[in-house]
């Protein structure tokens, strides 16, 4: 089976490519916008950009499955004047253009990495819930899903949509990496009394699920949530990160409502919502239809993440 991975040099992409190559039953091809300084070994690189026409005929020739990871991801400090238009250009127009090319080239299945943000920012979600994205990134991912489902509805190509929550693991960046650094330095945090519930997915679990969706016949034309199967409060997450480092968790039990008020006063309500709010996904569909369970525990996933940092 020949698998094409877009976004292969990214956080998830590198781990997925390594897994596919190690499985030895896949021929792996990667599209890149430019040849990386540290090339992925054991695979063919094709230079192609979602916003251009060049390269895709070669990239898609003989491919059985496309795993589409390339995207404009959630941006903490937005610099463009019209973020939604930019998200749509890459995540909607680019994805739909690639999918149409893939179907025309005879690709059998298109696996699309979407986001829990399609469903919303807080709550407990399953695949039967109506989508309710609240930001430009989530809107663009939902619109991409709708376009892909249109293609699937024609019978031209199978589509699998994977909605992932926050992904952590070796090489993680942004807020999760910052949290690891703070815990490692022993800086006291006022997060010792947070009783929320948040779903996460370790990198190895996400990669395992993607590989399952590449191969499993029952995944065709389905939408799945994926997670570690164990939801944590922010307090528990910090405690378990500290344990993975062999360090004490320095937590001060400040009431969540007081933290929210303080964060709102300094214009950081969005950050407080992520730290204090609940966001859970139900993975029973993946268990039932695909027989999939997360192979790596939360504690082992956190250990792998902090060992890399």
Identified catalytic residue from 56, 87, 137, 292: 137
Residue 168 to residues 45, 53, 183, 228, 280, Cα–Cα distance (Å): 26, 33, 15, 11, 16
At residue 176, the 3 state secondary structure works out as helix
pLDDT in tens, the chain (309 residues): 999 999 988 899 999 999 999 888 898 998 877 766 666 677 777 777 776 666 788 889 899 999 999 888 866 566 666 788 888 988 999 999 999 999 999 999 999 999 999 999 999 999 999 999 989 999 999 999 999 999 999 998 999 999 999 999 998 988 899 999 999 999 999 999 999 999 999 999 999 999 999 999 999 999 999 999 999 999 999 999 999 999 999 999 998 888 888 878 888 878 778 888 999 999 999 999 999 999 999 999 999 999 986
Three-state SS sequence of 224-263: EECCCCCCECHHHHHHHHHHHHCCCCCECCCCHHHHHHHH
From the candidate CATH numbers 2.30.40.10, 3.40.50.10190, 3.40.50.720, 3.30.70.260, the one assigned to the domain spanning 2-164 = 3.40.50.720
Q: What is the pLDDT of residue 75?
A: 62
Q: How far apart are CA 28 and CA 53, in angstroms?
A: 21
Q: For residue 69, how many other CB atoms are within 10 A of its CB? A: 20
Q: Is 137 a catalytic residue?
A: yes
Domain segments of the chain as ranges: 2-164, 170-199+232-309
Q: How far apart are CA 17 and CA 12, in angstroms?
A: 9
Q: What is the pLDDT of residue 76?
A: 56
CATH of domain 170-199+232-309: 3.90.25
Closest by Cα among 156, 74, 68 to 112: 68
Closest by Cα among 279, 242, 241, 273 to 259: 273
């Amino acid at each position: 089976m020949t698998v094409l991975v877009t976004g292969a040099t990214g956080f998830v992409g590198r781990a997925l490519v390594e897994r596919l190559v190690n499985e030895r039953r896949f021929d792996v091809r990667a599209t890149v916008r430019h040849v990386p300084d540290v090339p992925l070994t054991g695979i063919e690189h094709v230079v192609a950009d979602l916003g251009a026409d060049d390269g895709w005929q070669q990239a898609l020739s003989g491919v059985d499955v496309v795993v589409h990871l390339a995207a404009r991801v959630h941006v903490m400090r937005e610099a463009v004047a019209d973020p939604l238009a930019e998200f749509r250009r890459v995540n909607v127009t680019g994805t739909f253009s690639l999918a149409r090319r893939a179907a025309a080239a005879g690709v059998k299945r298109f696996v699309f990495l979407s986001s829990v943000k399609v469903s919303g920012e807080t709550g407990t979600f399953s695949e039967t819930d109506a989508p309710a994205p609240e930001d430009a990134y989530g809107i663009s991912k939902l619109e991409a899903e709708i376009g892909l489902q249109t293609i699937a509805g024609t019978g031209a190509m199978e589509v699998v949509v994977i909605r992932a929550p926050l992904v952590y693991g070796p090489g993680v960046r942004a807020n999760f990496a910052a949290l690891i650094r703070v815990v490692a330095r022993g800086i006291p945090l006022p997060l010792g009394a947070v009783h929320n519930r948040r779903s996460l997915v370790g990198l190895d679990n996400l990669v395992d699920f993607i590989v399952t969706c590449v191969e499993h016949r029952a995944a065709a034309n389905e939408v799945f949530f994926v997670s570690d199967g164990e939801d944590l409060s922010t307090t528990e997450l910090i405690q378990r990160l500290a344990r993975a480092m062999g360090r004490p968790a320095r937590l001060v039990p400040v009431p969540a409502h007081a933290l929210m008020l303080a964060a709102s006063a300094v214009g950081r309500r969005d950050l407080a919502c992520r730290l204090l709010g609940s966001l859970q996904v139900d993975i029973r569909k993946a268990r039932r239809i695909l027989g999939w369970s997360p192979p790596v525990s939360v504690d082992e996933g956190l250990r792998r993440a902090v060992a890399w940092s």
